[in-house]
């Protein structure tokens, strides 16, 4: 498990926002409601919750520094 600042990857963040799979899912309205991860994959949901609380995004730090 990581602690502190996550290393940003512009390539991965761009790929995640422009993938065909994401576009199709969003256009069809097939997104699961928030919190459904605990029902579909509890182990992964627990890991993601801990990871989110123990690490900080590089971009959120920049926003705080420059008042965005």
| pLDDT digits 0-9 by tens, 11-63 | 998 998 999 988 998 899 888 888 888 998 999 999 999 999 999 988 888 88
Distance (Å, whole) CA 37 – CA 44:
8
Instruction: Tell me what pLDDT residue 68 has.
Output: 63
Structure token digits, residue 9:
């990857």
Tell me whether residue 20 is in a domain. Answer: yes
Identify whether 16 is part of a domain.
yes
Strand, coil or helix: 45 = helix
Assigned domain for 32 exists: yes
Structural domain includes residue 49: yes
Residue 13 lies in a domain: yes
Q: Confirm whether 2 is domain-assigned.
A: no
Does residue 50 form part of some domain? Answer: yes
Tally of structural domains, the chain: 1
Q: State which residues form the domain around 33.
A: 8-66
In a domain, 14, yes or no: yes
């Amino acid at each position: 498990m990581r602690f502190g600042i996550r290393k940003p990857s512009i390539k991965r963040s761009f790929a995640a926002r422009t993938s065909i799979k994401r576009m199709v899912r969003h256009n069809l309205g097939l997104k699961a409601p928030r919190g459904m991860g605990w029902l579909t994959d509890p182990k992964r949901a627990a890991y993601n919750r801990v990871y989110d609380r123990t690490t900080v995004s590089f971009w959120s730090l920049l926003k705080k520094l420059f008042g965005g």
